[in-house]
Structure 1
């Protein structure tokens, strides 16, 4: 590791103005981004006495190879620049408020002719309204089950909707009146959209008016002696009230706020957020993060609050898709346990993201203080559960890495392990996968697929040649990253493979290991250990050794290697199947006379898949523009579907003969 004294800036060269700074490792990759009111004071504190730094900060300073900075004029500008750099460079030592899971939301696709209600995870899209987040997807489905009896809206996918439109028969939900069945024109597009907008209004908080309206209609039906309709409306009112009971009223004044609380120790912090919209708790999120422990910060919680507000709301605002104020990701109020020193600048920045004034407050009394205490208890419970789980996981991972180091005689524990696997069927559609594990955990953002270019000999030789090709391509990229950092990755961005692995694992025995080692020798890479893991007896092969290393069957190290190998195999198989499926689809329709590229695409787009195309009749296929009877029969025959050639052909227009020719 570099000595911090070797890259410490010269005395007096650091400006005293506010700014944002970046630490880079010896490969040029940004590993930490921070900001300071005085750059000189903050950066000097990193080099004063390493022994007094927090463990994570000390590790960062020891891993860095250089430091650079940018002077700004205001702290609001520093906030924005720091957020942009953290998002751009993804520094490994910065706290990132990533969810360990993608929280589900209830999405309403108002950008479609027939809007759909669905459980959704992922980036926001324009023209779609979102409600949530919810802790569990089943909570959304439960809400939909309650409310679709009152607001019978479409919940089916585009494929299901299209299929039922073709067969002119609604699905089960249409028969039990939990969908208004726009697919069979039971309601018009305008009527269905009105139902969906009423559903959105109810979730947005306009509940009292709707319940009063239903009760008025129920009483009127009873007065007219229409008891069946009155009973149905009574059940609708009950469904709405049950849905409201699941969203507890916490603020009687209809406040929109996020309530944030932390529970922390010397190394980690648990963060909990309750999202309150219209006075009701609409969602909850939680994170466990490692504390950065920047020098010069007297209060760790103030730093946590600042980092959370910057990163979380910056990411939420970039998601976009908020159709109205009720779904704006930045609320009017943010209730926090303590105020950071730059509260005014943070409020100004958040107000810019929201488009209106945002206040940051510490709740002092009443309902808001009570809810803040509840959120804090949730954070404390989450941290306790995490520590119990983490103790077991961390011990097992440490034992596994130590076991591998001892068995292979490595100088250091293999903190980064990469594994490559080959997948093919009798030498065709050869693909490879590369998976990455860091600290014993998968790092899926660094996974890679490879389409193999070379081919030779039998299946065994193909595997060996493919392993060599993937190894050359992977480490050639690594050498290019080092020798031309700005050419391949300007400003250090997205250089995922600037770090070489400590251990490179191939799926196979001695031939595959020797091929990988030969590729490394050819490129001049000498600091990467290579092994192979054979499936049959789980033997560990080392280059140029006649006999394998036998690790104990109950070894934590062997378990980790097996997990890495199996993950590489799974990733390769998934890619191979998708590639083979595309090739087989194309080849099945390629040989049909009169079926060009555009009509092939039209067929697959119309039916959704070749499997559904095989289930179609000649009449259904000829419904696709440009497809004649003769071509439809040829399609079915090419797919192995028997066609009754004696059956009378339907009367078609003259252009069918031209299309089928």
Structure 2
């Protein structure tokens, strides 16, 4: 959508474009002040038609990042995304919410996470649950104020509390690494016990903490999926005679093409895919703030839209590729 100066003020997508556009111009008490102001400024439209809804999602995300339209300003800025950082070099590894993931020995990062408030709820909830909210961890030997308030297990006093604290931190790291859900199980038990004892406010507190953690674990699972360094072939049937294939790597569609099913040559397609894989920079790296939005779109497309896809493992040798790819492509197309 453009204003009178030709500036792009909003980018959106729609399955049924006419209905979406009309919805802006019908008088409605449900329109927010933002939408009403937007409508007053619309003077022109540019339309880009995509072959699939998946491409529309990806294009919308990329255009908003590139153009930064005024009325898309409520979309989260990747600069505001955060990480959970844990420095295991310290005798008391601090659990910190940070804006950057700086690679250093002994530092572990989880994220990036798109909602800082959810991260804060999860971290603060875990600190409350295990009573590791120490207000003076550096002053070992004397108790902090939170210790007297029963909010700290006594890391500030030294002794066995330090070892207990490190075990809790290791359990937290295992939770985000996807190898131990003990923290969630303990929270669940505490919530049930509180509810049975009619301590409903406490039960709600642990429920909200669990929900925040599970939201972060879902994001962490997407990140791990993105960082597996595999290429993915996905297919969508556009009509009874035409199929569109996508070659996906991390947060990008690195190749896409439409094919007429009757004249499709799998040998040529196999070479096309191989050339695209070899010509693309496949250097593994941590998922950045700028990648996470597209990574989420790709993950949900592959996992929740009923799409057809298969994975080309990074570990495949050239011989394994030649042996397996044609069979995989045939099965993918046959499913369609």
Task: State the TM-score, normalized to the length of structure 2.
Answer: 0.40
- RCO higher in structure (CA 8 A, sep ≥6): 2
Task: State the TM-score, normalized to the length of structure 1.
Answer: 0.23
